[in-house]
A and B are shown apart, each in its own frame.
Chain A
Amino acid sequence: MGSEREAAIPEWASEPCIMGIDEAGRGPVLGPMVYGCLYCARSYQNTLSSLNFADSKTLKEEKREELFENLKADESIGWAVDVIDPRELSAKMLKKRKINLNEISHDSAMGLVTKVLNMGVLLTEVYVDTVGDAEKYRAKLSDRFPAVKFVVAKKADSLYPVVSGASIVAKVTRDRALREWVLEETAENLHKDFGSGYPGDPNTKAWLEHHKHFIFGFPSLVRFSWGTCTPYFKDIAEVLWESDEMDEDGSSTANGKRQMKLSSFGVTTSKRKIEEIESSGKGRCKFFLARKLEQVTQF
């Protein structure tokens, strides 16, 4: 999370303020997802409307860059971003207790609200763009921040200038992050012509095909949890995880994700499969059983 204007709190921040929150890079199969927010005094709202922040997707890249530089220079506007690393997205969505993308998104947006409130900005109205159910999301936000009025809407980025501004902050930050991305992997023949990252983009498809690795899957820029990756995994080495084994026999997954797993109580439901992965100490005394130590005579 970062902002270039953290040090000094502007005077207008103690007036009632409005804020917009929008995201960039939710759909792509690679790169970070960025949440951005933009805030200003309510009294500045009319001026803001005249600044021509249309929904960032309808603007050309150069125009977005220009508008971003303008709003950064505007002393009546504050902004902040939360850049969620693709490794973090994959890891959360592939945890034993899986966290879905909506939950990650909500946490990020709430993190931005908390951050701006903690800076001392008097937020009274916050406009939020959403992909999922607007009313449920609004209730969740209001519950967490009772003093703030939330307006949650689909396509809020084209309805409210303050959200359009936030979408520019988010989109420009994501584009820059991708442009400047340094691949962590040091294998030869890796390149960065990954296109937009959207699953339908021919450049993205070609990049994925070229960067597929038999053991490691993909470089960690890729969101392994995306359905887009699944077809590529068919031709590479199979990897079995204990958390996936549980999914297959239906004791966890989507709707039951908050349930305690049987394995937490020491009960293994899919014994055969687990044994393929690790030794069990089965049939031996408790000392060995607890340490999964078994005697191997043939290996």
Chain B
Amino acid sequence: MEQGTQGSVVLRRNGNGESQGEEEKVVDLSGQVHLLPCSIKFNGPSSVSQYFKPKSTGIESEGLRTQEAYFRGRKLQGASIPIPDGYSGFVLGKKSLGKRKASDNSDGSSNCWEMNAKYKSITYWNHDSLPSQDDAFLRCFHWLSVAKSMHEPATPGDLVSASAALEKMN
């Protein structure tokens, strides 16, 4: 292990359990989260919907319904991807430290996060190429099924077939 760090992520607004009803008011950003093929050296709000105007192209590429948009003079081609079942996208923010004692974060850099919004789809964009199943972003999702198989408890049947396979190899 590398140097360990402690932190927490609270995936519920008002995670301290004040009122259950608040949970329904979680901001849903589905369809408004964009992953661009560039690095914008700025963090903060901007008038995205007034300037960034994705349009559906009507072209389907490898089962993906493609869109196009322009950013800083470049043509982007993208596709909207649903977050796989059982998963969700979250926008996290550093937890406000109001109620905590100063002694909890002596260096001032808390590693406690809370959810500000969630999303069930994300639009990723390529510069100059049609979205494809070979794009690194889509291939990332392969990890989810690999992780699932790896972490599933082994059944007695699995063990029998595994040892049978081992014997064959020997």
Residues of chain A whose beta carbon lies under 8 Å from any beta carbon of chain B: 87, 90-91, 94-96, 184-187, 213-217, 219-220, 222-225, 237-243, 276-277, 287-288, 290-293, 297-298
Contact = CB atoms under 8 A, between A and B. Distances in A.
Given A186-B50, A291-B143, A297-B5, A240 B41 contact: yes
Nearest to A274: B39
Interface string B55-87: 000000000000000111111000000000000
A237 B73 contact: no
Nearest to A281: B136
> Most A CB atoms within 10 A — which of B51, B52, B72?
B72
B2 A242 contact: no
Given A216-B51, A223-B73, A288-B143, 17 more contacts: A87-B75, A90-B73, A90-B74, A91-B73, A95-B74, A184-B53, A216-B52, A216-B71, A220-B70, A224-B72, A224-B73, A238-B40, A239-B40, A287-B142, A287-B143, A291-B142, A291-B143
Contact of A238 (B4, B41, B46): B41
B46 A215 contact: yes
A237 B42 CA distance: 6
Contact of A290 (B50, B128, B136, B146): B136
A120 to B, nearest CB: 31
Contacts, number: 98
Contacts of B38: 239-242, 277
A225 B143 CA distance: 39
What is the predominant secondary structure among interface residues of chain B facing chain A?
mixed
Given A240-B38, A297-B5, A214 B46 contact: yes
A243 B2 CA distance: 33
A34 B165 CA distance: 70
What is the predominant secondary structure among interface residues of chain A facing chain B?
loop
A203 B3 CA distance: 58
Given A87-B70, A94-B73, A291-B139, A276 B39 contact: yes
Interface size class of B (residues with CB under 8 A): 20 to 34
A289 B5 CA distance: 24
23 contacts: A91-B70, A91-B73, A91-B74, A184-B53, A185-B50, A185-B51, A186-B49, A187-B51, A224-B72, A224-B74, A237-B42, A239-B38, A239-B39, A239-B41, A240-B41, A241-B74, A242-B127, A276-B39, A287-B142, A287-B143, A287-B146, A291-B139, A297-B2
Nearest to B111: A298
Interface string B130-155: 00000010011011001000000000
Q: What are the 6 tightest A-B residue pairs by CB atom distance, in nearest-first order?
A: A224-B73, A90-B73, A91-B75, A237-B42, A216-B51, A238-B41
Interface in B99-149: 111, 127-128, 136, 139-140, 142-143, 146
